[in-house]
């Protein structure tokens, strides 16, 4: 017990003695964990985000002027059967009139006495992210309807956003890998500095008959402390940020972030233990013969 | 029991010891003498396995230097008290902490450590200087601290390298008497020294080393 | 001469001995200089960027349907006199017809036999960044014309972009100030570590009769070396990036970046000298009594 | 000329020297003796102004400790050669670099440094060990290295603190003879020592210090 207390206090002293380098290790662990935490949350929400984005997909279809509303309804029911189409919303001539008003600031009925605008239909795409959507094939199928005059779609922009999202995930992953190794490196560097500063102590301990594990223990403890502080800080920040942004995002985008605090903290802690353990063993293995 | 069989060690830059053949009983008191640079410190380092022999082997108690593992060296050293020629005191720890270190290593309880450190400091006449850092002690006081640190774990063997170099004749004489007392209680002592006046006529075995070889034993 | 060579080699050795912490100082200086370099370039281009953005400002004015083209031309010449208006472009009924076609995929002439769309006019705003524009007052003046029916303007979005630009400049400036102090801090930390490691040397030198400046010199040299490496690296990166992005930005935005390489390098070098000098004097003053 | 006027210095934790009144001529050779912890090292540190007196003052050559500036202390030290009890050799520099350091400080040229270091190492019998680091030298060799470093700048005064503690009697005797030779060439020497046998009967002045005060001079 007293031996353990001794080793622990030695570890804390080591940490404190090199406050500044310890701080940089804590910071790099912190960074690693923030990034991995973000990635965990992102991956938990990926399907929801893609669903959310696809919800905004729409293809606008304009029908020929002579087509009656009944005919339109028939065509729309066929459109609904196309693979990849989730739902459709028909925009009647009255709806179109309102859109015209908002676009041009004019009441078309007043000007020409009747409504020349065509019936149109908004085609919504399936939201489920497990299915990859081939917009082009849907467009081709729509074009095959003789009743359809023009097809407008913003699909390109939105699938580009989806692409950005995936790029972001991939980028974060690569950054995560980089900062992961940087963390290991800075931790082992910090501990190496401590080992340098304690050269005499280490030598004396070995001459006195301390086993290798006794000599190593304070350095391993130092590393674990650094890891612990880093993971505590990053968990706090992440949870704080989540709590804060949850309401914000819900209010502005009506998107509910999904997360599991227990899983998050657990993952961060185990990651930090892995990093600090590898980092400090690397330092002690290389510098304590 | 210490036994050195055909021991040789040569440093890369030259110097060292060669063909050392020697043995010591469990309750012996022996002096190691020889001019400066003759290999006394090297021989002692070989005995406590700070250096491992290039030729021959060292047997100390149950431990044989042949193929010994790091862990066993650590255990062996717990039974050997060493007084280093260059003290090896830690500059950033005070006298108390320096002397307590060997007890932390063997895992004593806090109370026991406080008691034993106090006793051993009193024994070498450093009582009251517990809070001094090594830089705040005189040369002779540092040397006595080193003796106290070697003694505190009540070792089976004491290896002392020039423990009176910075002591005045009176204090040196007291140290020898102290060593003799410990020896009588059954601790083997091997002490390297230049101080012929102190050594001679005390009836102990004298081992002379010159140019890395034992001349007469 | 031999004394200088000795001090210089001591400085280089110090740097090399703590490669890793030296690296972090070099990196923080590098960061500071990159940010200040960016700010210098940004401030040299501010007026051009604002001009570029204002070029995209426009207010759309719709005239009442009964107003003749001659009357419109008269009104437009009055609009041109409004303070803050740079130029105007009249959109005739024919132009409006084309816009309708592209919006609704229908030829309005074919449908109703005549063109009901109103004449409109695009009002451009002065580009000069020295004048701050009061969009609201222009709008009010436009509203006072009886001939005008509706006014559409994106001014808000674009002045928001201008706001973002200024926010960016301010943000960069604050970051600059922060990293500036972090740099000083890391340099003095690095040198402090060297001083710690050289405690014995310093003590011995002082006991031997070395003056304080002799003892300090290698540490100051170490600091200046760090500063020099940092400024060399950041100058190289900035110039490389500029060369690369100049063509890119010109091709895509037809915007020519203005910069003065000599001024840039000079500023970066002097900044790095200031930082490393303050950093190393701080360390030596505090830790060499 | 060294002159100590009513000198006192007490450490925070106790110990030190008090009311020291002493003077030494430019060509004197004096021994400083006293039991361990009596204040010999403290007195020498006061003379080379590593400690500044709390009461009284030290005059060494043209320098007076009263209100002296850091820079002047540096210049004073260039004329004083010091042999430290704990050597103060730099562990991470080899013997050559250690000995050359004082010459770098006074700004000698490279060639001169090489020549003078070689000569002074030969003089103390360490020729051929230039590339050894302090940890690769025996205790006695380190002590002699320390003597060489003190001597290399041809100082006006040599302050030697226990320079024979790790030397065998023969080498110690040689060192004293060497100091006497230097002294005959006009260098003042003040040497703290425990080794009464070495000192007695050589006709030099002996200053005895006990409990921080001079007893007889
Ligand atoms: N690590 C080392 N590397 C190279 N040579 C060494 C090393 N340690 C000692 N030596 C050399 O080996 C020889 C014997 O050294 P040792 O320290 O054993 O002498 P010693 O008898 O203890 O002398 P002293 O009485 O001066 O302490 C010396 O010439 C020394 O220079
Ligand atoms: N820095 C210090 N702080 C506190 N006490 C000190 C300091 N330096 C020395 N002392 C104390 O002052 C007294 C005189 O020390 P000093 O080193 O002068 O003795 P010395 O005569 O050189 O002894 P030795 O022969 O053992 O070297 C000792 O009791 C010592 O503990
Ligand atoms: Mg030795
Ligand atoms: Mg002393």
B86 part of contact set with chain A, CB < 8 Å: no
Sheet hosting strand B157-161, strand order edge to edge: B80-83, B157-161, B188-192, B29-33, B205-210, B213-216
C137 shares its domain with C209: no
- A221-252 per-position pLDDT tens digit: 888 888 889 889 999 988 888 888 888 778 77
A34 shares its domain with A171: yes
**Cβ–Cβ pairs < 8 A, chains B and D:** 84
What is the per-residue pLDDT for D75? Answer: 93
Among C130, C154, C178, residue at a domain's last position? C154
In this predicted structure, the answer to whether residue B103 has a pLDDT above a threshold of 60 is yes
Q: Which ligand is nearest to the CA of B129?
A: 2
A47 shares its domain with A170: yes
Q: Pick the residue with more confidence: C136 or C23?
A: C23
- Token pair belonging to D4: 């100590």
- Token pair belonging to C169: 């400049």
C150 shares its domain with C247: no
Full DSSP string of B120-161:
HHHHTT-TT-TT--GGGS-HHHHHHHHHHHHHTT--SEEEEE
- A88-135 per-position pLDDT tens digit: 888 888 887 777 776 666 677 777 777 777 888 888 877 666 556 667
What is the per-residue pLDDT for D121? Answer: 95
Per-chain mean pLDDT for chain A: 80
C172 shares its domain with C46: yes
A167 shares its domain with A119: no
- Looking at CA atoms only, how far is residue D83 from chain C in angstroms? 11
CATH number of the structural domain spanning residue A81: 3.30.70.3040
B91 part of contact set with chain D, CB < 8 Å: no
Cβ contacts of C197-202, under 8 Å, gap ≥ 24? C197/A196, C197/C17, C197/C18, C198/C14, C200/D88, C200/D90, C200/D91, C201/D90, C202/C288
Closest partner residue to B50 (CB to CB) among A5, A207, A214 is A207
Cβ contacts of B56 within 8 Å, gap of 6 or more: B4, B5, B6, B7, B8, B19, B20
Q: How many domains, chain C?
A: 2
Q: Please give the residue range of the domain that contains residue A35.
A: 2-52+161-287
- A262-276 per-position pLDDT tens digit: 888 888 888 888 888
In this predicted structure, the answer to whether residue C52 has a pLDDT above a threshold of 80 is no
The ipTM of this complex is 0.74
- C195-228 per-position pLDDT tens digit: 877 888 888 888 988 888 888 888 888 888 888 8
| Residue C103 pLDDT grade (very low, low, confident, very high; cuts 50, 70, 90) | low
Q: Pick the residue with more confidence: D182 or D217?
A: D182
- D47-97 per-position pLDDT tens digit: 999 999 999 999 999 999 999 998 999 999 999 999 999 999 998 899 999
Question: Cα angle vertex C251, ends C246, C257, to 5°?
Answer: 30
C181 shares its domain with C240: yes
In this predicted structure, the answer to whether residue B51 has a pLDDT above a threshold of 80 is yes
Pick the residue from chain D with its C-alpha nearest to C1.
Answer: D109
CB A276 within 8 A of CB A33: no
| Residue A287 pLDDT grade (very low, low, confident, very high; cuts 50, 70, 90) | low
Q: State pTM to two decimals.
A: 0.77
Among A133, A154, A175, residue at a domain's last position? A154
Question: Cα angle vertex C252, ends C247, C257, to 5°?
Answer: 45
Per-chain mean pLDDT for chain D: 93
Q: Pick the residue with more confidence: C58 or D98?
A: D98
Among C101, C129, C154, residue at a domain's last position? C154
C132 shares its domain with C99: yes
Instruction: Kindly compute the dihedral angle of the four CA atoms of residues B43, B49, B51, B53, in this order, to the nearest 10 degrees.
Output: 80
| Residue C75 pLDDT grade (very low, low, confident, very high; cuts 50, 70, 90) | confident
In this predicted structure, the answer to whether residue A64 has a pLDDT above a threshold of 90 is no
Q: Pick the residue with more confidence: D208 or C146?
A: D208
The domain D1-79+192-217 belongs to what CATH superfamily?
Answer: P-loop containing nucleotide triphosphate hydrolases (3.40.50.300)
In this predicted structure, the answer to whether residue D177 has a pLDDT above a threshold of 70 is yes
| Residue B164 pLDDT grade (very low, low, confident, very high; cuts 50, 70, 90) | very high
| Residue C157 pLDDT grade (very low, low, confident, very high; cuts 50, 70, 90) | low
What is the per-residue pLDDT for D99? Answer: 95
Closest partner residue to A150 (CB to CB) among C105, C118, C152 is C105
A227 shares its domain with A207: yes
What is the per-residue pLDDT for A1? Answer: 65
Q: Do C207 and D50 touch (CB under 8 A)?
A: yes
C44 shares its domain with C143: no
- D105-117 per-position pLDDT tens digit: 888 899 999 999 9
d(CA B208, CA B192): 10
What is the per-residue pLDDT for D161? Answer: 96
What is the per-residue pLDDT for D1? Answer: 86
Q: Where are the domains of chain D?
A: 1-79+192-217
Closest partner residue to A116 (CB to CB) among C21, C65, C108 is C108
What is the per-residue pLDDT for C222? Answer: 86
Cα dihedral across residues D121, D124, D127, D129: positive or negative: negative
A246 shares its domain with A115: no
B174 part of contact set with chain A, CB < 8 Å: no
C174 shares its domain with C277: yes
Q: Which ligand is nearest to the CA of B39?
A: 1
DSSP C120: E
């Amino acid at each position: 017990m007293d031996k353990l207390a001794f080793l622990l206090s030695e570890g804390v002293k080591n940490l404190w003695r090199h406050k500044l380098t310890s701080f940089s290790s804590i910071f790099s662990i912190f960074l690693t964990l923030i990034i991995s935490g973000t990635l965990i949350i992102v991956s938990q929400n990926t399907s929801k985000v893609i669903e959310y984005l696809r919800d905004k997909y729409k293809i606008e279809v304009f029908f020929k002027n002579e087509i009656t509303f009944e005919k339109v309804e028939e065509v729309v029911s066929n459109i609904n059967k196309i693979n990849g189409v989730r739902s459709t919303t028909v925009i009647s001539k009255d709806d179109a009139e309102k859109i015209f008003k908002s676009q041009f600031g004019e009441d078309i009925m007043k000007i020409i006495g009747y409504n020349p605008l065509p019936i149109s239909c908004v085609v919504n795409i399936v939201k489920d992210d497990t299915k990859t959507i081939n917009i082009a094939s849907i467009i081709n199928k729509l074009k095959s309807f003789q009743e359809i005059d023009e097809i407008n779609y913003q699909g390109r922009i939105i699938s580009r956003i989806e692409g950005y999202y995936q790029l972001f995930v991939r980028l974060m992953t690569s950054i995560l890998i980089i900062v992961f190794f940087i963390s290991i490196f800075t931790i082992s560097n910090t501990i190496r500095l401590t080992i340098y500063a304690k050269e005499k102590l280490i030598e004396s301990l070995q001459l006195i008959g301390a086993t290798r594990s006794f000599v190593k223990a304070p350095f391993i403890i130092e590393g674990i402390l650094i890891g612990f502080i880093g993971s505590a800080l990053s968990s706090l920040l992440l949870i704080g940020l989540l709590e804060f942004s949850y309401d914000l995002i819900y209010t502005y985008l009506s998107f509910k972030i999904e997360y599991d605090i227990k899983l998050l903290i657990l993952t961060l802690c185990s990651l930090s233990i892995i990093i600090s353990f590898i980092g400090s063993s690397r330092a002690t293995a290389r510098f304590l013969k | 029991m210490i036994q050195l069989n055909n021991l040789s060690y040569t440093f890369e830059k030259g110097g060292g010891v060669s063909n050392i053949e020697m043995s010591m009983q469990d309750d012996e008191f022996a002096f190691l003498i020889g001019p400066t640079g003759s290999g006394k410190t090297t021989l002692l380092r070989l005995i406590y396995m700070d250096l491992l022999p290039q030729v021959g082997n060292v047997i100390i108690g149950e431990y044989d230097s042949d193929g010994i593992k790091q862990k066993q060296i650590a255990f062996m050293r717990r039974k050997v008290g060493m007084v280093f020629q260059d003290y090896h005191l830690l500059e950033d720890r005070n006298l108390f902490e320096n002397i307590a270190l060997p007890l932390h290593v063997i895992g004593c309880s806090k109370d026991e450590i406080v008691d034993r450190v106090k006793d051993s400091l009193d024994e070498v006449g450093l009582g009251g200087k517990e809070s001094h850092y090594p830089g705040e002690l005189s040369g002779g006081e540092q040397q006595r601290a080193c003796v106290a640190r070697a003694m505190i774990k009540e070792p089976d063997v004491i290896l002392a390298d020039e423990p009176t170099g910075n002591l005045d004749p009176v204090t040196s004489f007291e140290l020898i008497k102290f060593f003799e007392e410990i020896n009588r209680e059954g601790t083997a002592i091997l002490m390297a020294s230049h101080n012929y006046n102190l050594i001679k006529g005390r009836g102990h075995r004298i081992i002379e080393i010159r140019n890395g070889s034992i001349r007469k034993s």
